[in-house]
Amino acid sequence: MVIDREKVVEVYRFVFNSDSLSILLNYSKSIGDWQGPNLPEDITFFQDHKMWLGTVGHEKMSWWFLTDEECQEVRNMGIDLFGGA
C-alpha cells in the first residue's frame, strides 16, 4: 500500500480464529504493545465487512464495536478493553 510518494508500507491480511488469537495473546494482551517492528501495528479486525476492532498501537487507541455478549467474551479472555480505566 502506498501512503505517499516516499512511504510504502506492507499490509497483511489474516483469518482471525482461535489459533491466530492465541498467537497474538501469547505476545501481549495490551493493544498499546501491538507496534512494529516486533508485533503487528494498527491491527483492524472485520466481521461481515464491518469493523469489529480498530487500533492505533503507538497512540494506545482502539475502537470496539461489540455486542454486550462479545464484550464479556473479550473480557473473559483477559483483554483489557479500556486500557486500565
**Does residue 85 belong to any structural domain of this protein?**
no
Owning domain of residue 27 = 2-76
User: In total, how many domains does the chain have?
Assistant: 1
| CA–CA gap between residue 49 and residue 30 (Å, rounded) | 25
**Which of residues 32 and 20 earns the better pLDDT score?**
20
**Does residue 64 belong to any structural domain of this protein?**
yes
Peptide bond into 37 cis (omega under 30): yes
**Does residue 7 belong to any structural domain of this protein?**
yes
Average pLDDT of every residue of the chain: 81
**Does residue 35 belong to any structural domain of this protein?**
yes
Grid look-up 479500556 returns 82
Q: Is the pLDDT of residue 1 over 60?
A: no
Instruction: Give the pLDDT of residue 85.
Output: 44
Instruction: Give the pLDDT of residue 82.
Output: 66
**Does residue 81 belong to any structural domain of this protein?**
no
Percent of the chain with pLDDT over 90: 2
Beta carbons within 8 Å of 81's beta carbon, 6+ residues apart: 62, 64, 71, 74, 75
**Does residue 67 belong to any structural domain of this protein?**
yes
The pTM of the full predicted model, rounded to 2 decimals, is 0.65
